[in-house]
């Protein structure tokens, strides 16, 4: 009986060695995240999202850095921007459709707009996701190096920027990007 157990253990060990030899480093990737977390912070894809904190129109404070429960889309906009007007209803639909997996933050760059018009824009388009006012343009210009309205920044749950989209993408394209972001 003891001899049979020894033979069985040896067969199992040989089997494990054969599988390990055939798979090599691929076995490790099953148990580890394939993409290491970046160490550099910046406003580019592949970098950790830079820190910011802004108060929303609802009185709550919102931040955009670090690990999160949900993926994040940051939308920088201005009330006079025609592509922003076209994009606003689509963002509302996406916010509702993906509420369990995605946060959307709308940031009005009030430095290039005015607060009254921004608030009217939110009301006109019935925006229900958090809206912040970047009154001095610091988050848009200094943190995210923004130049174009709208600018959309996609950030995964790990706090890594996956894409920066300048201008308003086609609604179908944006939804595909969001689906990919949520899966990542």
How many angstroms separate the CA atoms of 166 and 169, rounded? Answer: 8
Quick one: 67 exposed, middle or buried, by C-beta within 10 A (0-12, 13-18, 19+)?
exposed
Tens of pLDDT, residue by residue, the chain (184 residues): 666 666 665 676 566 666 566 655 444 444 445 578 888 888 999 999 999 999 999 999 999 888 999 999 999 999 999 999 999 999 999 999 999 999 999 999 999 999 999 999 999 999 999 999 999 999 999 999 999 999 999 999 999 999 999 999 999 999 999 999 999 8
Quick one: 14 exposed, middle or buried, by C-beta within 10 A (0-12, 13-18, 19+)?
exposed
How many angstroms separate the CA atoms of 151 and 73, rounded? Answer: 10
How many angstroms separate the CA atoms of 133 and 113, rounded? Answer: 10
């Amino acid at each position: 009986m003891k001899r049979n157990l020894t033979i069985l253990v040896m067969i199992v060990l040989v089997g494990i060695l054969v599988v390990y030899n055939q798979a090599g480093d691929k076995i490790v990737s099953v148990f580890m995240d394939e993409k290491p977390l970046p160490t550099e912070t910046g406003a580019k894809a592949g970098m950790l999202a830079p820190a910011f904190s802004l108060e929303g129109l609802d009185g709550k404070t919102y931040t955009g850095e670090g690990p999160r429960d949900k993926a994040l889309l940051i939308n920088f906009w201005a009330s006079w921007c025609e592509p922003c007007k076209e994009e606003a209803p689509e963002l509302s639909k996406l916010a509702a459709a993906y509420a369990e997996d995605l946060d959307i933050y709308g940031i009005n760059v009030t430095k290039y707009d005015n607060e009254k018009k921004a608030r009217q824009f939110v009301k006109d388009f019935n925006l229900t996701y958090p809206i912040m006012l970047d009154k001095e343009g610091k988050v848009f210009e200094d943190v995210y190096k923004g130049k174009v309205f709208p600018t959309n920044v996609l950030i995964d749950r790990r706090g890594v920027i996956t894409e920066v989209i300048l201008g308003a993408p086609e609604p179908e394209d944006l939804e595909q990007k969001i689906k990919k972001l949520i899966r990542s």
